[in-house]
Structures are given as C-alpha cells and as structure tokens.
Amino acid sequence: MDNLEICRMTAMQLRKVIRARKLSPVEVVDAVLERIDRINPKINAYCTLVPESARAEAKKAERKVMKGESLGSLYGVPVSIKDLAFTKGIRTTGGSKMYENFVPDQDAVFVERLKAAGAIILGKTNTPEFGWIAVTTNPVFGVSRNPWNTEYTTGGSSGGAAAAVAACLGPIAQGSDGGGSIRIPSSFCGVYGLKPSFGRVPTSPGFPGLWEGLSVTGPITRTVSDAALMLEVMSGYDERDFYSIPQKAPHYLSAVRGEPNLKRMKIAWTKDMGYAIVDKQVARAIEAAAKVFEKLGCLVEEAHPDAGDPQAAFSTQVASAVAAQLYDELPEWGKQFDPGLAAYVERSKDILARDYVKARVKHLEYWAKIRVFFDKYDLLLTPVLAVPPFPVGIYSPSEINGQKVPPIAWMPFTYPFNITGQPAASVPCGYTEDGLPIGLQIIGRKYDEVNVLKASAAFERVKPWADKYPPLD
C-alpha cells in the first residue's frame, strides 16, 4: 500500500485496517506527514505541525494494538485542530500576533475527547485572526489556498481545516462555526462539514468569546460516516461549558449505517430564502440536488420561511462582541492586527447597549418564525453560499450576477442558523464550469443532527464525492 493510498483512506477505513493489524498507526502517521511536507507549502492548510509528538503517539498506539488492548473509536486516526482551539502543549495563536507564542496548559473539552478516543493530533490548521472573517488569512501565517485552484480562497474561518481534508492531509479535522465557518470552507473545498446544534459539543476553555451565543464546534471530513463518528466522540455534556446541552452523546454513527430511509420525509428547498441574490451556477446545482431527494422518496416542495434576512441583528451582535473584547487592545496591538480587523473594531466601538439588546430580541423573534416553519418540514435545503469560490486577496465579491452587493451578501444562508442554533451540513453537490466545488446546505430541526446526517448519507450514496480529488498530485 503506497502513501497516497493511505492518505486517501477515510477514518472509518483506517480504524478498520489498524484494528485488523493490516496497517500500523506509525505507517499512517508517517504517510500523512510525508504528504503534508510535500503539499502543505502549496496551500498553507497547517500553520503548526507537531510531527515528533504525533510519531510518539503513533508508536504508543501501535504497541497497544499489538497487545490486543481495548481501543478507542478513533484509535490511530490522524486529526487536525483549528488554531482557535486550545491544545495542551501545542502553540495556539488564534491567527493573532497577540498570541503568537501562546502555548495553552490545557485542552478544550473536545480535544480531550478526541485524544481519549485514540485520535493522533498532527497539528493546528490556519484561520483568520480570531475567526473574524470568512476567508482564511492572518498576520502570523498568511493566506490559505484552495486545493482545487490555489488562486482561489478556501473560505473561512476553518479554511485550513477544510483545505487539509480536501488535499488528503489527514482524514478528519475539527472546525468551528460562528456564522458559517465550518460550512463555508467545506463548500468551497468540496468536503463535508457539519455545524451541530448550539451546545452539542462543549468547547471550553478557549479564547475570549467573539461569537458568544453563536459559535459551535464540529467535524470536517470527506465522508458523512466519518463526520458522524467524529461528532459522536466530541458530543455530550460537560459542566465546564456553560452552554453544554445536558445530554449524553447520541449514537450518530448508527444513523448513517446501511441505507438510510428518507421516504415520506418532508423537505423544503429554496434557492434564495426570499431575499438573496444567487449565482446562476449555484442555483442550478441546488435545484438539481432537490430533485435527488424527490427520487429518494421524500416529499419535496419549494418553500422558505417567511422570516426575512436577520443580517442586521446578526452583524450588530458580532460587532458588539468584537469591540468589547478587542477595543482596549488597540493601543498596544492595533497596528499588528489584520488591518481589516483593526478597522472593524474601531468602527464598532460606539454600538450602544440598547442596540445590542434589540439585536438579541430580533434573534428571538427570528427563531419564533423559523420554528413554525420547521413544524411543517423535517429539513430545509438551501445553497451553502450565494457564490462559488472567489480569488484570494479579497474579503468578499462585490458583484453577484452582475449586480452590486454588500460585503456579507455572498453568505446569506449560513448565519441565520447560527442565530437559531439548528444543525446544518454542507454537502458537496456539484462543480462550476471551472471545476470549483458547490455546496448544498441541509438544515434540520434544533437538536436533530440525526436526520441531517441521514439525509446527507442518502445523498452521498446517490451522488458520491469522496472519490474526487483536487489536482495537486
């Protein structure tokens, strides 16, 4: 078995061959690290690598396998952690000069759980500074590039994570999502990403909360089964996280085994949610994806919630949090921040408390309208994004279909479901004429990751994507 074959294996495949002693954890880690050495300079997915500790953990895992000891569900499987998450003994910068040399003395809860399941950490993946924008670049490590075309962005803020998985630099990656940051790069990089329900995966401890009440942690993988496995490991109550759902981790993996039955499931789909301008290639891909669910026996109709665009309330909350956490740092660190972030903090400093409270009230009103819609439908299908990947060097496209648009108009489908806290997946569903990926978003009822995973798995069986690879080799 050559290195490329090993690197293209899924987490489910790896754990099977490792347990059967057909492949050792050492061979797996060596193969992936060799590929990272060769490919990462082209795309800058990883910003910090820990090859020595990864190899040491692989040797420990190998000894345990050979002794026939009980193994965790991710035993010997390599994983990457986003550079916003605390990792004990591994440099964690948040993409900021403020924390360029910071090494946490503890792990985030989900990192503890991944380690306990036997996963082997390869390193940290690149992110914009504190995850503030939806493209991946920062003052410490620079820009990450899309494996499908390195002149294009990965999206963000989990851009390094999605690029790593797409380029086979590890089968699974942890991402976080405060306004689309798992789903956006998963869509742009042609991989599967799942934003779970708010509170499903405990995230503490970590950096000061710029995305308070919005951000979640979830898996980025090449297959739905790998995401279900990883989510199962990371989920479950922990009192260290104030928002943690008081529930044990559901058995997500069993939900996607076999052939999930979606017959009579009620599904709505929309190209625009009633307010978005959407690239024509994206719209066509989403309409085609909706027809796949009809063939799977679902009751599918075109519909969208009568809830409007919550962009103003969302933007007010985020801007308030960013200013509250970073404005006092401007005198010392402002010149070393990403220039766009520094400007954003400065112009957000005068948001009034009453405007913040009004935004929170709008969130509750928005949820009331969305909840009623999901009384009628099990799932909602939308584009992940209004546009295909765009070139590196810009924060957002200025036009869609020839129409001038504001900066946030390219991501109108992601942040609404951070407001509501619902689970939502990015599923590869097609490619542009230039061969760039397009993502379908599947949104479920609150706390219903199971049906999101089932629908994702059913679509994957009809329209598989994991055997398609970027032109890097």
CA–CA separation, 417 vs 432, rounded Å? 26
Instruction: Give the position of tokens 């648009």.
Output: 405
Structural tokens at position 73: 């569900």
> In a 3-state reduction of DSSP, which class is residue 191?
coil
Residue 470 counted as domain residue: no
User: Which of 80, 96, 157, 176 is an active site residue?
Assistant: 157
Whether 472 is covered by a domain: the verdict is no
Cis geometry, peptide bond prior to residue 157 (ω within 30 degrees of 0): yes
Distance CA 269, CA 283 (A): 11
pLDDT for 19: 95
Of 24, 80, 82, 176, catalytic: 82
Q: How far apart are CA 78 and CA 53, in angstroms?
A: 12
**Residue 218 belongs to domain with CATH number:** 3.90.1300.10
Identify the band that residue 208 occupies on the pLDDT scale cut at 50, 70 and 90. Answer: confident
Residue 469, domain member (yes or no): no
pLDDT in tens, 306-329: 999 999 999 999 999 999 999 999
Considering only CA atoms, which of 264, 283, 281, 263 is closest in space to residue 273? Answer: 283
Could you say which of 24, 144, 181, 187 is catalytic? 181
pLDDT of residue 117: 98
Give me the mean pLDDT over the 403-422 stretch.
Answer: 97
Across 329-450, the runs of DSSP E, i.e. the strands, are 379-383, 399-400, 403-404, 424-431, 437-444
Q: Give the residue-averaged pLDDT of 364-386.
A: 98
Q: Is position 71 within any domain?
A: yes
Q: CA–CA separation, 14 vs 163, rounded Å?
A: 20
Least reliable range by pLDDT among 39-53, 253-267, 325-339: 253-267
Measured CA to CA, the distance from residue 186 to residue 414 in angstroms comes to 12
**What mean pLDDT do residues 464-472 have?**
96
> Is residue 467 included in any domain, yes or no?
no
Tell me if 468 is assigned to some domain: no
Q: Which of 247-251, 341-345, 455-459 has the lowest mean pLDDT?
A: 247-251
Secondary structure of residue 353 in the 3-state scheme: helix
Asked if the model's pLDDT at residue 70 lies above 90, the reply is: no
> How much is the pLDDT for 210?
80
* 44 is a domain residue: yes
336 has pLDDT over 90:
yes
Rounded Cα distance, 71 and 323, in Å: 46
Domain coverage including residue 169: 3-462
pLDDT of residue 1: 82
Confidence band (pLDDT; 50, 70, 90) for 185?
very high
The pLDDT score that the predictor gives to residue 259 is 86
The yes-or-no answer on residue 60 being catalytic is no
Q: Is 82 a catalytic residue?
A: yes
Number of domains in the chain: 1
* 471 assigned to some structural domain: no
- Check: CB of residue 154 under 8 Å from CB of residue 162: yes
Q: Is the pLDDT of residue 209 over 80?
A: no
**Percentage of the chain surpassing pLDDT 70?**
100
CB 80 within 8 A of CB 49: no
Is 157 in the active site?
Answer: yes
- Residue 322 token pair: 């960013």
Element of type H or E holding 39: helix 25-43
Query: Which pLDDT value is given to residue 265?
Result: 97
